[in-house]
Amino acid sequence: MMGDFLFSDEPDELESEVELGTWKVLIVDDEPEVHAVTKLALSDFEFQNKRLEFLSAYSGAEAKELINAHPDAAIVLLDVVMETDDAGLQVAKFIREEADNNHIRIILRTGQPGQAPERQVIINYDINDYKSKTELTAQKLFTVIMSSLRSYRDIISIEQSREGLEKIIVASRDIFATRSIEQFIEGVMQQLTSLLGIAEQAVYATTLVAQNSQDNSNEKLIVRSGTGEFEQSEGKELEAVLQNEQLEACHQALKEKSIIYKDNYLFAYCSSEYNHNSMLFISGIPKNITDTQRHLIEIFSQNVQLAFENVQRQQH
C-alpha cells in the first residue's frame, strides 16, 4: 500500500489555512505507521479551500475522548480491531448512540475483514463506508475522503438551514409581539446576534414618520433607534451619524435596495409595503459570513420593516 501513496511537501501558507478553517479527520488505529501513511497520503488534500486537520487516537478509549472533545469532526477513519476484536465497532456505536453525533462520517477500516463481515457491519452499525486496508490505496483514500466531506458538508448545511429557520420563526414571533419602538431595536439586536453569533452595534433608520404621511420615499432617513455609540442618535439624520466609508455603503444599499457587506459591518435595505425607505446597520459582524447566514439576514431584513410598521400602527 505504501507504494501507492503520493508524498508532497508541507504548504508554507499556514496563515490562510488558519483563516479559512480546516476539516477535522480523526484517525483511530493502534498501528502508528497507519497514522503516518494516512497523513502523508492526504497531505496535499484540499476541499473548498480548506485543508485537513488530523487528530490521532490509538485505542477505542482514546477515540471516545476525541469524539467528545471534537464534536465538529467531519470524518473518522476507524480501525475495527484494536485493544479488542470489536473495539472499532464499539466506538461507532458510541458515536451514534452515546455521543449522539449523526453528522460525522464513519469510515471503517479493517485489516481482517473476516472478523467483521461487511454486510453484517453495514446492517448493524450506522457507518458510512467499509474498506479493507489492503484495498485502500492513496487514490481510493482520496476518493472516499472527498465523497465523505461532500456528504458532511451537505448534512451541516441542512442542519444550519433548519436551525436558521427556527431562529427566523422565533424572531418573527418576538419582534411582531413588540409593543414599543424601544423594545423593537433590542429585539432586532438579540435575533441578529443569534443569527450571526455576534453583533456589536445596530442602527435602524427610516423615512416613516409618526404622522404616517402618504409618501415618505424622498425624505431623509431618520434614526429611530440605536445601540452602542448610536444610542443617543435617535431623531438625527442617518447621514449625520455615519462615517464617510459607511455612508457610501449605505447609499449603495439604498440605491440597489439590497444588502451591502463590508469587513465588519453591513447595511441592509428593508422593504416596505408603504413605499418607505428603511435601513438597518449592523457592526461587529463575523469576517467570514456563510451563505446560510447571508440568506437568513436577507429574510430577516425583509421582515424588519413590516415589524416596525406594525409597532407604529399599535402606537397610533
Lowest mean pLDDT among 13-27, 30-44, 258-272: 13-27
Q: How far apart are CA 272 and CA 308, in angstroms?
A: 10
Q: How far apart are CA 154 and CA 207, in angstroms?
A: 41
What would the mean pLDDT of 50-77 be, rounded to a whole number?
96
Percentage of the chain beyond pLDDT 90 is 33
Q: Which residue has the higher pLDDT, 21 or 185?
A: 21
User: How high is the mean pLDDT of the chain?
Assistant: 79
Q: pLDDT band for position 230 (50/70/90)?
A: confident
pLDDT of the residue at 18: 37
For residue 27, pLDDT beyond 70: yes
Fold match between domain 2-156 and domain 178-315: no
Q: Domain residue spans in the chain?
A: 2-156, 178-315
Q: How far apart are CA 215 and CA 277, in angstroms?
A: 10
CATH (residue range 2-156) = 3.40.50.2300
pLDDT of the residue at 301: 78
List C-alpha distances in Å: 148 to 80, 188, 212, 260, 265.
19, 38, 56, 34, 35
**What pLDDT, in 10s, does the model give residues 233-284?**
888 888 888 888 899 999 999 899 899 999 888 998 887 666 677 888 888 8
Please report where in the chains the cell 446597520 appears, as a residue: 281
Question: Cα angle at 279 between 273 and 285, to 5 degrees?
Answer: 130
Q: Are 67 and 73 in contact (CB under 8 A)?
A: yes
Alpha helices for the chain (secondary structure H) = 14-20, 32-41, 60-69, 87-93, 118-124, 138-176, 181-196, 238-241, 244-256, 291-315
Q: How far apart are CA 166 and CA 20, in angstroms?
A: 27
pLDDT of the residue at 17: 36
Give 3-state DSSP helix, strand, coil % of the chain, rounded to 5: 50, 20, 35
pLDDT of the residue at 66: 96
For residue 153, pLDDT beyond 70: yes
pLDDT of the residue at 125: 86
What would the mean pLDDT of 54-63 be, rounded to a whole number?
96
The set of cell numbers assigned to 108 is 471503517
Question: What pTM, to 2 d.p., does this model score?
Answer: 0.56
Q: Which residue has the higher pLDDT, 193 or 93?
A: 93
**What pLDDT, in 10s, does the model give residues 285-303?**
877 787 877 887 887 777 7
Residue 164 CB burial class (10 angstroms; 0-12, 13-18, ≥19): buried
Q: pLDDT band for position 53 (50/70/90)?
A: very high
Q: How far apart are CA 289 and CA 298, in angstroms?
A: 13
Highest mean pLDDT among 28-37, 153-162, 181-190: 28-37
Q: pLDDT band for position 229 (50/70/90)?
A: confident
Percentage of the chain beyond pLDDT 70 is 72
**What pLDDT, in 10s, does the model give residues 160-212?**
767 766 665 665 555 555 555 556 666 666 666 666 766 677 787 887 654 34
Contacts of 314 (CB under 8 A, 6+ apart): 179
CATH (residue range 178-315) = 3.30.450.40
pLDDT of the residue at 210: 40
**What pLDDT, in 10s, does the model give residues 107-117?**
998 876 555 66
Q: How far apart are CA 281 and CA 242, in angstroms?
A: 10
Among 124, 135, 32, 141, CA closest to 86: 124
